Structure formats: structure tokens, C-alpha cells
Amino acid sequence: MADGEVLALCQDMTISRAEFLRCLPAAVGHVPFTVAGSAIGFSEQTRRWRITVVALPDLQMGMIRLPRQRVSIHLAGWDAVATREFLDRFELYFRRAGG
């Protein structure tokens, strides 16, 4: 982890990388971010976030095959309230089947 970063979330998601990147802007409040390989990042004066997206083997149930990604969110410079708000928004935009 980079200086001052805290791992705020790590979860496996049944989503393709393309779909994840399509949904991400709304999930992070439409802030400008960069994508470099598996790392996605945002930085402003006092805080930053970094999301890593790593492909996992597909989940297969009979004829159904679902792509999976391991998603980790690292935050730096965020207080507890701002962290919870960020994670709540992120989870809301990726919630499926009624959450």
C-alpha cells in the first residue's frame, strides 16, 4: 500500500471488467480518475483513493458462467464519516437483484 493508505474494502464481485468500468463513474461521484492496468485512481489536495480490479476465474454453475473480479479500495486522507459515505455510494451503484 502507498503512504497513508488504508484498505477500506476488498470483495469479489460477479461482474466483467468492462461492466465495472462502465458503472464506476457514477459509483465514485463522477470525479475524474485514471486507469493504469489493474489500478484506478483519484487524487485531490487532501485525500485520494485507489481501486484495484483483478480478474478471477469465472464462476460457473451448470451452463451459467459469470465473470468475477477481486475489487480492493484503498483510501488515504478520509475520515470515518467520509469513508462510510464513499463506500455506501460505491456499494449502492454496484448492488444487484434488489440488494
Which among 51, 52, 53, 47 has a CA at the least distance from the CA of 81?
A: 47
| pLDDT band at 48; cut points 50, 70, 90 | very high
Domain boundaries, the chain: 6-94
Residue 85's φ and ψ, nearest 5 degrees, are -65, -45
Task: Please give the Cα distance from 99 to 94 (Å, whole number).
Answer: 9
| pLDDT band at 12; cut points 50, 70, 90 | very high
Yes or no: is domain 6-94 CATH 3.30.1300.10?
no
pTM of the model: 0.90
- Model pLDDT, residue 1: 58
